[in-house]
Amino acid sequence: MPDIENIQEENLEDQNSISENVHSNISQEPTIESAPPQIQDSQLQTENMEVHHHPKVEKKNFKEYLLEGLMIFIAVTLGFFAENIREDITESKVEKEYAQELYAELKDDSVVAATKLANRLQKEKDMDYLNSFFKDSSLTNLPKKFYPVYTTSLYLINTYAFEPKDGVLNQLRNSGSLRYFKSIALQKLLGDISVDINNIRYRNDQEYQYFANPVKPFLLKYYDWSWLDSLRKQDNTAIVFNVINNYLQSNRNIESKVLNISSLDRAEASNMILFWKQMLVSTRSLQLNNYIVTNHKILQLLRETYTIENE
């Protein structure tokens, strides 16, 4: 069968031809080169990093969450208490400093107030002497004591006026620092002494108004100012009160007289002196005395509450 053989031979040739073409195409494809070693290492590191960036997280149980919450709560609470303790220490220090300043101011004023009180008592005695003299004594033959008493009773006013200091108290009040004083009793006393200070200043104004009229016009008419001028020329002391005391203790005697005796109404002069005295007595026994009592209470409470330095 020659035809069958021919067909088989043709098929065989075709298969060989296909095989050759396949091998030829394979040999013509570009060869894929392997990546350089550095790139391979970088890829490995990247893979390793990716592995580390995604660790396996273990789930916590309820007790662990509760313990962490408790630790956070304790830390916050301790911080809160520590801050409160720090603030308490700071406020306690500031409170003591203010107490020290307030004590010093009130202590100085207590000494001044006591001196003014003693001087006012002496002035009241001088006014009694002057009143009796104007009422029924001779005004032409004057003793050495007359003009010093005349001067202290009617002319000197600022010497006997008490001007309380309240600089520290005003600073505490205006800045709101009175809150540092925890003692309710102390805060009440500070309010009381503020009232006492205002009352004293009001009385000082009233006394000065009465001095301006009628006391001052009376002095301009009946007081011999040449006597005081001569006295001050003999003494270099600046304060008239001290000049007069020095004069009374000396052997000097400066001639003195009451001016315009013919127009002097003795009863009117006596009445004016007594009214002036009653005003001074009222200030001393009420306003000044109330201040001294309140001042003493505050100083005592400050000593009991705080350790006051340089008392």
pLDDT tens figures, 127-153: 999 999 999 999 999 999 999 999 999
- pLDDT band at residue 38 under the 50/70/90 scheme: low
Q: How far is CA 9 from CA 3, 6, 22, in A?
A: 10, 5, 20
pLDDT at 27: 47
pLDDT at 32 over 70: no
pLDDT at 28 over 80: no
* Reported confidence tier of residue 307, pLDDT bands at 50, 70, 90: confident
pLDDT, tens digit, 9 for 90 and up, residues 238-268: 899 999 999 999 999 999 999 999 999 999 9
| pLDDT (mean) for 75-90 | 61
Confidence (pTM): 0.71
pLDDT of residue 275: 97
Instruction: Answer yes or no: are the C-beta atoms of 113 and 294 closer than 8 Å.
Output: no
Closest CA to 308 of 129, 146, 106: 106
Predicted local confidence at residue 301, as pLDDT = 95
Give the angle subtended at the CA of 54 by the CAs of 51 and 59, to the nearest 5°.
Answer: 135
